[in-house]
């Protein structure tokens, strides 16, 4: 390996290589478009991975082409980049899944003998889930789920890149002159150094803009008794407990049938987009009219999109019997948002500023839980205990065997169990495993993805990342 490691981004056309290149280098130097084949030559740039200088190479999309054609010459450029690389990022489009061309080019990458990380791009929301899990079959080890366009998953990717290159994070270390040692603090990477994205959502006139103004300490947003004052998803930067936050005030969301007029349709679309690309969603509900149908719809959309959820009960100062009201609200949450047990419920008054400290702490706690990873050894120790407490049921006289578990990604915590007949395992048993998993590893209030795949332990035969 040279003094400056070289990382080549390889993949089919239009899977997002140039977008990832721009993300890693911190510059918009590579042209990005929906038009496939825009990149033809190799493009190099410098990047900083947790204090380590690396060289990133953006390549043309791998395509089969006739001898002497432009496609053939583009492929030659890509193969040259592959030969010079110390590490290969093999990029896939998770929304399209693993295509025959991906399998062909995977053989080319494997033949190079270079260390490989499979990167499943375009994993925002749920559209890329099936393609992400399909990428296990390429045999390069656990893939990394990202959205290069929106910056999601880059922290995990940077960590895997450092590990594959044998490098250590250099941020957060300082020399102890008295003992001659080094004190290591939390490692920061460029991808993790950006603000936490928090979307404030809810029905019209629930107090969302008033809440954002209270956090900012100024009347940045227009507020008033008229519903629908906010139209755009407006971003503001602030800091909580030393952590950078980017908070989005969004338009109130009404039932689809009641949304009329172009402006309201665009506002609703913008608010939904803010939910999809937030990391934590604060659902603001009216304490006097809690959990109406639209509140539940917004909460359900948030969990479907895999975002962390915190519920802020606004106008709490108007409630007389607070203890009884809070007890009733907690029962409602447990019953009507059962898909995210343990979600934080924080009473506040946005107008007076009461409860904001508790709300900000709940948001940060939800974000940390949403990012949590469980070591594979701990997961399989838990799995063994869970199976011994309650064995999988027998189907047609033959018991379903669950052999191994891993967590391929966080944001939200996502787990894969490899078993003999995944399609025959009852939902009630999957629910038992999910609830036990939440309790064992303290994962309250965030969506949890629990997926089943047919097969043996993928690591039993020595399958490791090249």
The per-residue DSSP string of 7-18 comes to: EEEEESTTSSHH
Where would I find the H helices in 137-261? 154-165, 208-216
Does the pLDDT of residue 427 top 60, yes or no? yes
Domain 195-370: CATH architecture, name and number where available: 3-Layer(aba) Sandwich (3.40)
Is residue 331 within 8 A of residue 309, CB to CB? The reply is: no
Average pLDDT over residues 65-80: 56
pLDDT at 456: 59
| C-beta atoms surrounding 239 within 10 Å | 10
Higher local confidence (pLDDT), 32 or 454: 454
Residue % of the chain over a pLDDT of 70? 76
Question: 273 CB contacts (<8 Å, ≥6 apart)?
Answer: 233
Does the pLDDT of residue 69 top 70, yes or no? no
Average pLDDT over residues 218-244: 61
Distance in angstroms (rounded) separating the CA atoms of residues 1 and 361: 44
pLDDT band (50, 70, 90) for residue 37: very low
Which tokens in the block code for residue 357?
A: 């400290």
CA–centroid distance for 129 within its chain: 12
pLDDT at 461: 54
Give start-end residues of each CATH 3.30.300.20 domain in the chain.
Answer: 376-454
Distance in angstroms (rounded) separating the CA atoms of residues 73 and 265: 47
Which tokens in the block code for residue 281?
A: 């969603």
CA–centroid distance for 326 within its chain: 31
Where would I find the H helices in 85-153? 100-111, 129-134
pLDDT at 70: 45
The DSSP result for 309-376, as a single string, is: EEEEEE-GGG-SSHHHHHHHHHHHHHHHTTTSTT-EEEE-BTTTTBTHHHHHHHHHHHHHHHT----H
Is residue 198 within 8 A of residue 365, CB to CB? The reply is: no
Backbone dihedral angles phi then psi of residue 8, each to the nearest 5 degrees: -100, 135
Average pLDDT over residues 6-14: 87
pLDDT at 319: 93
23-32 contact pairs (CB < 8 A, 24+): 23/148, 23/151, 23/154, 23/191, 24/56, 24/154, 25/56, 26/190, 30/58
pLDDT at 386: 94
Higher local confidence (pLDDT), 144 or 255: 144
Could you tell me the end-to-end alpha-carbon distance of the chain, in angstroms, rounded to an integer? Answer: 15
Q: What is the pLDDT of residues 115-131, one digit of tens each?
A: 999 999 988 777 777 88
Right CATH for 6-165 from 3.30.70.1170, 3.40.50.300, 3.90.700.10, 3.40.50.720: 3.40.50.300
Distance in angstroms (rounded) separating the CA atoms of residues 220 and 235: 10
Helix (H, G, I), strand (E, B) or coil at 187: coil
Question: 7 CB contacts (<8 Å, ≥6 apart)?
Answer: 24, 47, 54, 55, 56, 57, 85, 86, 87, 88, 89, 161, 165
Higher local confidence (pLDDT), 139 or 228: 139
Give start-end residues of each CATH 3.40.50.300 domain in the chain.
Answer: 6-165, 195-370
Does the pLDDT of residue 219 top 90, yes or no? no
Provide the CATH topology of domain 376-454. GMP Synthetase; Chain A, domain 3 (3.30.300)
Least confident of 41-55, 67-81, 303-317: 67-81
């Amino acid at each position: 390996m040279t003094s400056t490691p070289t990382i080549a981004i390889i993949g089919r056309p239009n899977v997002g290589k140039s977008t990832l290149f721009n993300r890693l280098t911190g510059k918009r130097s590579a042209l990005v478009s929906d038009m496939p084949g825009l990149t033809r030559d190799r493009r190099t740039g410098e990047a900083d991975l947790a204090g380590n200088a690396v060289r990133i190479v953006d390549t043309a999309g791998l395509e089969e082409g006739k001898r002497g054609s432009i496609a053939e010459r583009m492929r030659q450029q890509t193969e040259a980049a592959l030969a010079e690389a110390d590490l290969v990022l093999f990029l896939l489009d998770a929304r399209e899944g693993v295509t025959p061309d991906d399998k062909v080019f995977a053989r080319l990458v494997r033949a190079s003998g270079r260390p490989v990380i499979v990167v499943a791009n375009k994993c925002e929301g749920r559209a890329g889930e099936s393609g992400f899990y399909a990428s296990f079959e390429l045999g390069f080890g656990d893939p990394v789920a990202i959205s290069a366009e929106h910056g999601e998953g880059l922290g995990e990717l940077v960590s895997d890149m450092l590990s594959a290159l044998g490098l250590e994070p250099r941020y957060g270390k300082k020399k102890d002159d008295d003992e001659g040692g080094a004190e290591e603090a939390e490692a920061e990477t460029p991808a993790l150094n950006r603000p936490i994205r928090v979307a404030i959502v809810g029905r019209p006139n629930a107090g969302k803009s008033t809440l954002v103004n209270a956090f900012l300490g100024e009347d940045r947003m227009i507020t008033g008794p008229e519903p629908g004052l906010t139209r755009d998803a407006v971003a503001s930067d602030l800091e909580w407990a030393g952590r950078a936050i980017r908070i989005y005030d969004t338009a109130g969301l009404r039932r689809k049938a009641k949304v009329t007029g172009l402006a309201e349709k665009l506002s609703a679309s913008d608010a939904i987009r803010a939910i999809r690309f937030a990391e934590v969603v604060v659902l603001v509900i009216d304490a006097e009219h809690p959990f109406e149908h639209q509140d539940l719809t917004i909460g359900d959309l948030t969990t479907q999109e895999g975002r962390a959820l915190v519920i802020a009960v606004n106008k709490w100062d108007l409630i007389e019997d607070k203890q009884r009201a809070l007890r009733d609200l907690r029962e409602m949450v447990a019953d009507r948002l059962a898909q995210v047990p343990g979600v934080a419920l924080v009473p506040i008054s946005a107008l007076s500023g009461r409860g904001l400290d508790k709300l900000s702490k709940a948001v940060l706690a939800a974000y940390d839980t949403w990012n949590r990873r469980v070591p594979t050894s701990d997961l399989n120790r838990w799995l063994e205990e869970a199976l011994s407490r309650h064995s999988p049921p027998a189907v047609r006289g033959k018991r379903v065997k669950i052999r191994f578990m891993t967590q391929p990604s966080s944001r939200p915590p996502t787990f894969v169990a490899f078993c003999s007949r995944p399609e025959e395992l009852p939902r009630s048993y999957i629910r038992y495993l999910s609830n036990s998993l939440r309790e064992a590893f303290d994962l309250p209030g965030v969506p949890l993805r629990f997926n089943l795949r047919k097969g043996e332990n993928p690591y039993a035969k020595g399958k490791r990342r090249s």
